[in-house]
Amino acid sequence: MRKGKMLVISLLSVLLVSTPVLAKNSKPKASANPPASRGEVLRGTFGASDHWGSGWLDLKSSKDFKKGDTLRIKVGGTAKKILVRLLARGEDPNLPVGILGAAREVPGNRTVEVKLDSDYKDIVQISVHGGPNPWGQFPLGGGNGPATIESVELVR
């Protein structure tokens, strides 16, 4: 029994002495996917229309966005492609105004990041539009499902 205790104590001593050396000589591994910076969660009232295949966030108060801001939108529904829109105060939500660029693919994690290429003032609604052909002007594909918004973060 005494030999067993000595062996355990010897092994522990080796571990205690060598652990700092191993830690000192090990290099940190680069992450393939660095953690995303947390943004400001935008608050308001969520809505959706199965008929139009769209979802939106009516902002609690109007917001100004700046060139370079990123919107991180968690997309619900089954859409594989979406349009993203920023609706300014006074604009008609029934018209295709405020569309940000072309259609965007919805990745497997269902989070779409949109980097703004200009300033947008007095925005009252953020919306996503799925379905086969929003407003009859943006063909996204016959099998494309509806889109909703689960959350929106603003990263500055």
Tens of pLDDT, residues 19-47: 444 444 444 444 345 556 789 999 999 99
- Bridge-partner residues for 77, per DSSP? 147
The CATH-assigned architecture of domain 40-155 is: Sandwich (2.60)
DSSP structure string for 1-35: -HHHHHHHHHHHHHHHHHHHHHHHHPPPPPPSSPP
**How many whole angstroms separate alpha carbon 140 and alpha carbon 134?**
8
Letter string b/e over residues 69-102, b meaning 16 or more CB atoms within 10 A of that residue's CB: bbbbbebbbebbbbbbbbbeeebebeeeebbbee
Q: What is the pTM of this model?
A: 0.77
- The domain limits of the chain are 40-155
Tens of pLDDT, residues 71-99: 999 999 999 999 999 999 999 999 999 99
